[in-house]
Structure 1
Amino acid sequence: MQATQPRLSFWQIWNVSFGFLGVQFGFALQNANVSRILSDLGADLHSLSLFWLVAPIMGLIVQPIVGSASDRTWNRLGRRRPFILAGAIAAVLGMILLPNAPLFVAFLAPMLMGALMVALMDASFNVCFQPFRSLVSDMVPPSQRNVGYSIQSLLINIGAVIGSILPFVLTNVIGLENTAQMGQVAPSVIWAFYIGATVLLGTVIWTVIRTKEYAPEDYNRYKGLSETASVTTEGKKAPLGQRLAEFFTLVKDMPTTMRQLAVVQFFSWFALFIMWVYTTPAITQHIWNVDKQWFDPTFIAAAPVVPEAIVMAKGAAGDWVGILFAAYSVFAAIFSIFLAKLADKFGRKTVYAGSLALGGISYVSFLLFQDLNMVNVNLLITEVTVPLGAVKLLIPMIGVGIAWAAILAMPYAMLAGALPANKTGVYMGIFNFTVAAPQIVSGLTAGWILSSVFDNDAKYIIVVAGVSMLIGAASVFFVKEADKQDLEAAKGA
């Protein structure tokens, strides 16, 4: 009877994470288009970050619950796969309904309907995210962990590339309209969400079918768990009060590595949240030279008509954000290929810190790329005419992509070895606090900073993101990774 966890082939590791490609496809569509959708439905710049708070709040609530539940689950589908499949089905429903929010105006205001569908999508994405992270930790042996999370990062970014660029392709290749009047959603965005929902469900079903999770006795043997420490579904469910007490005890006693990574995560995700929320208005103002007043719903409502040039510029800028987000995902996917080898050679901390530093510098450099001269750009699939500054913004996307690849892989690779095997799911869920909390802080403060400090000049809030990422890079060097003694203690916990 084999006592050592077997090594997996490349395609086995690929199949474990393949569904994450579809989940990230949907998540990328949301990141690149929700600000655009909510703005078209009537949100102002100050309130945009408040609507985006739905995502981290859902993560804060959902992931620890799902993590704890998946630790205790073992049925015909396995341990993590039931949650991945359920989350995917719910996410598909949200992705179909969100771009159709204006159709439900007889029942709910479009803005409220949009916010509810964003909440449904985010809750569903989070139901998928946490079990996928834990599935890699469960299935991939320690010697392949860098590879496992690097492949997951690669697949995430492949999905993000396609999801980010899809509305642009539907407009410039297929010919769908990319503009919308106030209270409506552009047809290219609507169809992008339909396609994304289909891809999400298909890839998740692939992972569920092609990945066979270990039986409880095999898992316990591979992870070195005793009978008392093993994961089991037997016995009575503890009362709610006891479960809450146990949960807070876990939080209080979290591994040192996890606490130190939380600081890095705070500054990293604070920056990412700003980028996702404010890149569209930032480049519309800074690169397409649209006055900030055209992001004020009160001003727009008082204007006799929104000039056609403003409508077209907003549509073009919104499409280009998809190109930029796809670009950083391409660079992240490429970097993910080399990430494991770089981490093995130079150490995880060095690679992680250097990546974040490059991302921070890239955000700050947004200020340098304004150029209003219009140029024709051949994107292979089509040609477009955009300001030269928009093309130049592809340069900082290299650094942003490298930082994003590291954020997706390095903290989880560093953390996985510090966690007790029988509590991996719940601790991965708790670790999501370090993703959700900084986004909540960013959502509560970024809009105020933008309006009160920068007078709604959105390019400067991107600089704030850069400074935050640089602080995160410096914080990496204070993280102490688990050593062999820690790992042995964790196994017996």
Structure 2
Amino acid sequence: MATSVAAAPASSTREKPRLSFWQIWNMSFGFLGIQFGFALQNANVSRIFETMGADADNIAFLWLAAPVTGLLVQPVIGYLSDRTWSPRWGRRRPFFLVGAILASLALLVMPNVTALWMAAGMLWIMDSSINISMEPFRALVGDLLPSEQRTAGFAAQTFFIGVGAVVASSLPWMFTNWFGVANTAPAGQIPLSVKYAFYIGGAAFFLAVLWTVLRTREYPPENMAEFEEEKQRNAGFMNGVRESFAGIFAMPKTMRQLALVQFFSWLALFSMWIYTTPAVTSHIYGTTDATSKLYNEGADWVGICFAVYNGVSAIAALLLPFIARATSRRFTHMLCLVAGGLGLISIYFIDNPTMLLFSMVGVGIAWASILSVPYAMLAGALPANKMGYYMGVFNFFIVIPQVVAGLILGFFTKTVFEGESVYTLVLGGISMIISGLLTLRVDDADDIRLPATEPVALDTPAYDAPVQTDSRL
């Protein structure tokens, strides 16, 4: 049962060798594709909902389908991947590949929906499929990297997330401004620029994840007999469901503290993803007509803004290990979250679309830290043989704030803010600052305080990778 897991040792008896730059590059490259999927989803789904006839105050509710499924998918996938081993495919990589195939197909279908219920259903399928690929990537860092390289490992993932999102978020704008593809369409139809962006995203998702699947090797279980016995004793989907929800009540102390930090930071992010398009188009561009040229110009500019914050995050991710070594991971995360909160709040004071790019700098700094520092702090507090399981349970605190956002943000937007979506972004900024302050309460026992002049762990020599029977890898 999960209650016994918390007492397990937080580190493996195997001494993990340090990985080279290219080994960390290869194991992280799949996140480039995963972020193509998430960036297209985050920048365009509210636009698709409004095109299909959704009111601004109902958009948050329509986003609920995805997180409700995520509550089940993420921890169960982590649980199952902990109990998977193939000499050819390893432990996490089968889930990378299955998720990539399903997500790529969903990205091809999403821009061709013809009704609001279809758009909501495809968001459910697409988000679930992306999470099947994404969740084991977090566990892979804990599996393969020694503790002193984990901040760098998660930062490398964040770098690829940033690069992928810059390109993916900009695709509709690029198709329109570089290639003359129409960014408007008759009522109830998705513009061609958005359709082409999703097609490119589907291909990029599959190919990037496939690179990691083929170019990364995993360690076999340390004791195969014990592994097989544990797998037989706790195998099965329903066991995964029971263990996953029981895991909430058996979390290590550090994980409980980080859960609260995650809740407020992700509540802020979901307010941004759900409401930036209606906030910018109404507050700055002065229109709510989803068929108008002005609205679609504003929606395209939101894509550029999202590209900017992701580009900033890619650069910031390279600096985070240095800042964390010079100060601490807790202080670094707090500083980044406060910057992101101020960036969201500043949108209220802007009337020139270009000035939004400065707001996105703060958001990008926060995004870089959110995607790396909490996971680096968490990995050192987890039992090695349950890394995927607990990383999946930890994702509850990404999904739960999305559910809360879907349930309450629509009410706040319609009733409290009288339909002014920009106030919802201000609320998100306040939530992110609260999250930053809560970070200072986290016990980070594995926080390695190396001199700032020491090279980041990405520059370490290669090692003899664990042997697998597939000689092509």
**TM-score for both structures, normalised by structure 1:** 0.85
Q: Which amino acid aligns with 1:151?
A: A
Helix, strand or coil at the partner of 1:184: coil
Q: 1:468 to 1:234 in 2, by over 3 A?
A: closer
Say whether residues 1:452 and 2:415 are aligned partners. yes
Q: Which amino acid aligns with 1:263?
A: L
Larger radius of gyration: 1
Helix, strand or coil at the partner of 2:203: helix
Q: How many Å apart are 1:250 and its aligned residue?
A: 2.9
Aligned to 1:364: 345
Q: 1:168 to 1:257 in 2, by over 3 A?
A: same
Are the counterparts in 2 of residues 356 and 473 from structure 1 also a CA contact under 8 Å?
yes
Where does 1:43-122 land on structure 2 (aligned, <5 Å)?
43-75=54-86, 76-102=88-114, 110-122=115-127
**Greater displacement, 349-358 / 244-253:** 244-253
CA distance in 2 between counterparts of 1:342 and 1:186 reads: 43
Give the root-mean-square deviation of aligned CA atoms: 1.9
Q: How many Å apart are 1:458 and its aligned residue?
A: 1.3
**Greater displacement, 4-13 / 248-257:** 248-257
Q: Deviations over 1:154-192 (max 9, x none)?
A: 011111111100110001001100012221000000000
Are the counterparts in 2 of residues 231 and 422 from structure 1 also a CA contact under 8 Å?
no
Where does 1:311-350 land on structure 2 (aligned, <5 Å)?
311-350=292-331
Q: How many Å apart are 1:234 and its aligned residue?
A: 5.0
Aligned to 2:269: 272
Are the counterparts in 1 of residues 344 and 428 from structure 2 also a CA contact under 8 Å?
yes
* Number of residues of Structure 1 aligned to a counterpart in Structure 2: 434
Are the counterparts in 2 of residues 40 and 180 from structure 1 also a CA contact under 8 Å?
no
Q: How many Å apart are 1:112 and its aligned residue?
A: 1.5
Say whether residues 1:254 and 2:242 are aligned partners. no
Q: Which amino acid aligns with 1:66?
A: I
Q: 1:233 to 1:192 in 2, by over 3 A?
A: farther
Aligned to 1:355: 336
Q: Which amino acid aligns with 1:416?
A: A
**Greater displacement, 162-171 / 138-147:** 138-147
Q: Deviations over 1:38-83 (max 9, x none)?
A: 1101111111111111222222110011000000000121100000
Q: How many Å apart are 1:113 and its aligned residue?
A: 1.4
CA distance in 2 between counterparts of 1:325 and 1:50 reads: 22
CA distance in 1 between counterparts of 2:380 and 2:240 reads: 25
Aligned to 1:433: 396
**Greater displacement, 470-479 / 242-251:** 242-251
Q: 1:204 to 1:233 in 2, by over 3 A?
A: farther
Aligned to 1:281: 278
Aligned to 2:453: none
Q: Which amino acid aligns with 1:402?
A: I
Q: 1:420 to 1:153 in 2, by over 3 A?
A: same
Say whether residues 1:12 and 2:23 are aligned partners. yes
Q: Deviations over 1:225-267 (max 9, x none)?
A: x975x57665355577766554444321210000000111111
CA distance in 2 between counterparts of 1:60 and 1:320 reads: 32
CA distance in 1 between counterparts of 2:156 and 2:442 reads: 24
Q: Which amino acid aligns with 1:266?
A: F
- Residue 198 of structure 1 is aligned with which of 195, 198, 203? 203
Q: Deviations over 1:321-363 (max 9, x none)?
A: 0100000001111101111111111100001001001111111
**TM-score for both structures, normalised by structure 2:** 0.88
Are the counterparts in 1 of residues 51 and 190 from structure 2 also a CA contact under 8 Å?
yes
CA distance in 1 between counterparts of 2:299 and 2:335 reads: 30
CA distance in 2 between counterparts of 1:440 and 1:326 reads: 25
Q: 1:456 to 1:231 in 2, by over 3 A?
A: farther
CA distance in 2 between counterparts of 1:282 and 1:248 reads: 36
CA distance in 2 between counterparts of 1:164 and 1:316 reads: 14
Q: 1:402 to 1:243 in 2, by over 3 A?
A: closer
Q: 1:184 to 1:349 in 2, by over 3 A?
A: same
Helix, strand or coil at the partner of 2:292: helix
Are the counterparts in 1 of residues 76 and 241 from structure 2 also a CA contact under 8 Å?
no
CA distance in 2 between counterparts of 1:256 and 1:369 reads: 41
Aligned to 1:147: 152
Say whether residues 1:162 and 2:125 are aligned partners. no
* Structure 1 residues without counterparts, runs of 5 or longer: 103-109, 221-225, 296-309, 371-388, 485-493
CA distance in 2 between counterparts of 1:412 and 1:35 reads: 28
Q: Deviations over 1:353-408 (max 9, x none)?
A: 010011111111112211xxxxxxxxxxxxxxxxxx11011111110000000000
Helix, strand or coil at the partner of 1:478: coil
Q: How many Å apart are 1:213 and its aligned residue?
A: 0.9
Helix, strand or coil at the partner of 2:120: helix
Helix, strand or coil at the partner of 2:184: coil
CA distance in 1 between counterparts of 2:395 and 2:242 reads: 19
CA distance in 1 between counterparts of 2:338 and 2:382 reads: 27
* Structure 2 residues without counterparts, runs of 5 or longer: 1-12, 448-473
Q: Deviations over 1:402-444 (max 9, x none)?
A: 0000000011000000000010111000000010001110111
Aligned to 1:471: 434
Instruction: Give % identity.
Output: 48
Q: How many Å apart are 1:474 and its aligned residue?
A: 0.9
Q: How many Å apart are 1:4 and its aligned residue?
A: 2.1
Q: How many Å apart are 1:482 and its aligned residue?
A: 2.8
CA distance in 1 between counterparts of 2:378 and 2:305 reads: 30
Helix, strand or coil at the partner of 1:159: helix
